[in-house]
């Protein structure tokens, strides 16, 4: 069983930055592929970024060049550094663990965090 707890969300002005963290339990966390998703009101949950156990990363086109996903296996934590934030980045952000790949496309695993709200507004 893996439990995921996100933190770091909040209110930020357009152009600002936030760093989200997702701490996982379980000694096998380091072998999992990990990902960040987001869901805006009235919208479907969408994949933002994913990272393999090897460290290879993928990003949604809408966040490329602005967001960076990283992981610290010693701390069982995955991060999402978000820069140059835009109002359209407003959403609840969720981390996911244990997914798999079809080609380069990440498919979510069973484990989800509870979500953290990110609001970008002036």
DSSP per-residue string spanning 36-96: EEEE-TTS--EEEEEE-TT--EEE-TTTTTTEEEEEEGGGTEEEEEE-S--GGG-EEEEEE
Alpha carbons 9 and 29: distance in angstroms, whole number: 22
pLDDT of residue 29: 77
Q: What angle do CA 2, 28, 77 make, to 5 degrees?
A: 70
pLDDT one digit per residue (tens) for the chain, 122 residues: 789 999 999 999 999 999 999 999 876 778 899 999 999 999 999 999 999 999 999 999 999 999 999 999 999 999 999 999 999 999 999 999 999 999 999 999 999 999 999 999 99
> Apex CA 46: angle with CA 33 and CA 15, to 5°?
100
Q: What is the pLDDT of residue 26?
A: 72
pLDDT for position 120: 98
pLDDT for position 27 = 66
């Amino acid at each position: 069983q893996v439990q995921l707890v996100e933190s770091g969300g909040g209110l930020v002005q357009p152009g600002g930055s936030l760093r989200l963290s997702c701490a996982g339990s379980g000694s096998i966390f380091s072998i999992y592929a990990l990902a960040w998703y987001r869901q805006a009101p009235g919208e479907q949950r969408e994949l933002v970024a994913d990272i393999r156990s090897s460290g290879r990363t993928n990003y949604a086109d809408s966040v490329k060049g602005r967001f960076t996903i990283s992981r610290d296996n010693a701390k069982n934590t995955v991060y999402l550094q978000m820069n140059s934030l835009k109002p359209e980045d407003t959403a609840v952000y969720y981390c996911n663990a244990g997914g798999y790949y079809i080609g380069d496309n990440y498919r979510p695993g069973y484990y989800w965090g509870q979500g953290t709200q990110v609001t970008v507004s002036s």
